[in-house]
Amino acid sequence: MNIETKAAQLRAALNRAAHQYYTLDAPEIPDVEYDRLFQELQAIEAAHPELRTPDSPTQRVGAAVLAGFTPVRHSVPMLSIRTETDTTAAGAEKFDEQVRNHLASEQRRTELKPGDPRYRAEPLDPIAQAVLAGQPIGYVAEPKFDGLAISLRYEHGVLVQAATRGDGETGEDVTQNIRTLRQIPLVLSGEISARSLPLPLAGEGRGEGGWPIPPILEVRGEVYMRRDDFEALNERMRERMAAGDRAAKTFVNPRNAAAGAVRQLDPAIAAQRPLSFFAYGLGDITPPEAGGPDFRAHWEVLQALRAWGLPVSALARRAQGAAELAAFHADVAAERDGLPFDIDGVVYKVDSLALQRELGFVTREPRWAVAHKYPAQEQLTTVQAIDVQVGRTGKLTPVAKLAPVFVGGVTVTNATLHNELEARRKDVRVGDTVIVRRAGDVIPEVVSVLADQRPPGAPEFSMPARCPVCDSEVVREEGEADHRCTGGISCPAQRKQALLHYASRRAMDIEGLGEKLVDQLIDGRVVNSLPDLYRMGFVSLAALDRMAEKSAQNLLEALEKSKQTTLARFLYALGIRHVGETTAKDLARHFGTLDAVMAASTSQLLQTPDVGPVVAGSVHTFFEQPHNREVVEQLRAVGIYWAEGKPAPAALLPLAGKTFVLTGTLPTLSRDEAKDMLEAAGAKVSGSVSKKTSYVVAGAEAGSKLERAHALEVPVIDEDGLRALLGGGA
């Protein structure tokens, strides 16, 4: 292909992608692929400037205005920042050096002869001079939020307009939609500055919280959707789609869901989309001469925005010199997966506003800021096969086997397709090119298929009629999305899963009994049922493939240790359908002994708090089966033991009757740990805040749950508060 055709093809592909991304909010290629094509075109145009056409995507930024929104001309353009694709922490050093080099070249201009065209008469700002004398540069480091940029215009403290970025010069008026975000104040808090008010005194710290609100204030920031809100929204959409609602659709990622909501023409629909906001800068603002605040540093701006009632990320911090920037890059990278929202990198900004002015802009990008990206959370890959896996309860799950891709910091080779319905809805086929996403602790997912790259003749996926492991018949029960193998315990796949579940951390916690070993034990018929586990001797274990004597010994010890357990863990470990950890605890607490649970009728089981007919029926059916009773008897016979009898009446526990909701990241406790501690003290831990919630325990980056707590006036405590309630003190 000649270079001219290639460039034309790239232009067409990029323009199409930009239209899908910006105008339709429905991208078909991941950002990394867009960036790759963009760079390819840039390289061609650099080598052959004659091929640079005015319609080339390299010649413009951003989106066309969607018909239906009024255009808004930004009084101060919404610029973009230079983005380094370098995903390592080393970029900080480079940025720091670029800033210094620029200052040094400005300094050299002042040293030229006055007649020289490059001569600069005015001396450098004193801070710039201090930097040149060797002082470290003060920065502010912030996360790069993955949403869409919005400008909020406040006049005399009242929100009058919200606009998208558009092409940077002209955006869209989305005020109606933005007004529905509860995090965005319609009226700022604080005192309104009057021109007659004396100006604040110069110097640091003077304003912490005390800046008067300028008559004109444009706040720049990012509208985004939290991951949990995104998952819940897509879940709702899937339910509506299953119910035949043609207007429902799922979103590819939180950013697109957010963009779609902000640019939704019907504000009523926008209002139902859970959006959040972080402020990170200023646009137009009343100048100090006219009574506006005389900010000296970006950090002050952030503090003032927070004091006026705007959400500012708690992750933003000041950093001295490149080393502290690099440390921020590493710290945030380590936290990235656990954050409640997507970020795609970090942003470094020179803190001093005088230094920012000194540095200025290159074309449309400031020299005083740079973005450093993290590895992408979406990638393209191909589907090599669709396997069907059999779970503990016989549920069949289609799993896409992928050509390995590095995404979200790990190499992904599998992605679940959940069930037949889901596989068909996405229409994933063998040979397809797909977008894979992995964000946070969320399991990797195929988000969509590039339909135009499908190999001819690829057949649609369908579930097998017989179990791929034991060849038993596969059935799909009325009104259920799942297919099941009817082989039960005779199906080796189900036996393996049952064993893995029994050994899992929150069940019997048998360390070292992992997938590979379980495969060997079941396939080699060493273990046919749960009690067999405790009958294995050292000799049969050590005889297994790749089993060192030491590991065999460790496993035997772990098995021995697991014998001492609790009734709740044991009930959970049995893998009774619909009996999760919480239900197992409820049953153990209510009945006190295993015999009582086993002997209970369905109606007696229904007396257990929080146990409904489905669970009661399932427990009753389980213990009705002679082979299940047999397994339980044998497990007791090999020495599984727990303290029987009703535990201390729940009412006597310190937090009995109290309901807690956990949100955000606690400084030292994991969510599991906090939950265990609360439950041990008799409290219930719930996932959503209501008027009945006793306390919300909030950590860093707590979001909508915290807000709801405030709205419902539910007391909010932090980790220390929690420990105090638990009576532990420190």
Closest distance between ligand IVH and the C-beta of residue 273, in Å? 19
Residue 374 in contact with ligand IVH, rule: CB under 6 A: no
Neighbours of 328 (CB within 10 A): 25
Residue 369 in contact with ligand IVH, rule: CB under 6 A: yes
CA dist 315 to 302, 318, 332, 336, Å?
12, 10, 8, 11
Residue 281 in contact with ligand IVH, rule: CB under 6 A: yes
Residue 489 belongs to what H/E stretch?
Answer: none
Residue 145 in contact with ligand IVH, rule: CB under 6 A: yes
- Bridge partners, 429 (sequence order): none
Residue 254 in contact with ligand IVH, rule: CB under 6 A: no
Residue 307 in contact with ligand IVH, rule: CB under 6 A: no
Closest distance between ligand IVH and the C-beta of residue 371, in Å? 6
Nearer to ligand IVH, 144 or 227 (CB): 144
Closest distance between ligand IVH and the C-beta of residue 56, in Å? 20
Q: Which residues contact 173 (CB under 8 A, 6 or more apart)?
A: 69, 70, 71, 72, 161, 162, 163
Nearer to ligand IVH, 303 or 433 (CB): 303
Q: Which residues contact 368 (CB under 8 A, 6 or more apart)?
A: 99, 349, 350, 355, 356, 359
Residue 359 in contact with ligand IVH, rule: CB under 6 A: no
Residue 142 in contact with ligand IVH, rule: CB under 6 A: yes
φ, ψ dihedrals at 549, nearest 5°: -55, -40
Which class for 558: exposed (0-12), middle (13-18), buried (19 or more C-beta within 10 A)?
Answer: middle
Nearer to ligand IVH, 373 or 484 (CB): 373
Contact 494, 393 (CB under 8 A): yes
- Fill in the DSSP letter of residue 219: E
Strand ranges (E), 443-529 = 445-449, 474-476, 483-485
What CA–CA distance (Å, rounded) separates 230 from 703?
13
623: left (phi over 0), alpha (psi -120 to 50) or beta: alpha
Selected binder of ligand IVH within 280, 295, 591, 660 (CB under 6 A):
280
Closest distance between ligand IVH and the C-beta of residue 328, in Å? 12
Active site residue 144: yes
Tell me the site size for ligand IVH, rule CB under 6 A. Answer: 13
Closest distance between ligand IVH and the C-beta of residue 495, in Å? 50
Residue 174 in contact with ligand IVH, rule: CB under 6 A: no
Closest distance between ligand IVH and the C-beta of residue 145, in Å? 4
Q: Which residues contact 260 (CB under 8 A, 6 or more apart)?
A: 25, 251, 273
φ, ψ dihedrals at 142, nearest 5°: -135, 160
Closest distance between ligand IVH and the C-beta of residue 92, in Å? 15
Residue 144 in contact with ligand IVH, rule: CB under 6 A: yes
Residues numbered 8 to 27 that lie near ligand IVH (CB under 6 A) are none
Residues numbered 59 to 118 that lie near ligand IVH (CB under 6 A) are 79-81
Nearer to ligand IVH, 145 or 230 (CB): 145
CA dist 230 to 273, 439, 640, Å?
9, 12, 43
Sheet containing strand 82-84, strands side by side: 82-84, 369-373, 343-350, 138-145, 317-320
Residue 218 in contact with ligand IVH, rule: CB under 6 A: no
Nearer to ligand IVH, 282 or 655 (CB): 282
Residue 366 in contact with ligand IVH, rule: CB under 6 A: yes
Identified catalytic residue from 6, 94, 144, 585 = 144
Selected binder of ligand IVH within 213, 219, 347, 597 (CB under 6 A):
347
Residue 360 belongs to what H/E stretch?
Answer: none
Nearer to ligand IVH, 136 or 366 (CB): 366
Closest distance between ligand IVH and the C-beta of residue 224, in Å? 9
Residue 213 in contact with ligand IVH, rule: CB under 6 A: no
Closest distance between ligand IVH and the C-beta of residue 81, in Å? 4
Nearer to ligand IVH, 146 or 445 (CB): 146
Nearer to ligand IVH, 167 or 676 (CB): 167
Provide the token pair at 454.
């499908």
Residue 149 in contact with ligand IVH, rule: CB under 6 A: yes
Strand, helix or coil for residue 714: coil
Contact 379, 450 (CB under 8 A): no
Residues numbered 673 to 712 that lie near ligand IVH (CB under 6 A) are none
Which class for 247: exposed (0-12), middle (13-18), buried (19 or more C-beta within 10 A)?
Answer: exposed
- Bridge partners, 229 (sequence order): none
Nearer to ligand IVH, 281 or 682 (CB): 281
Catalytic residue list: 144
Residues contributing to the site for ligand IVH (CB under 6 A): 79-81, 142, 144-145, 149, 222, 280-281, 347, 366, 369
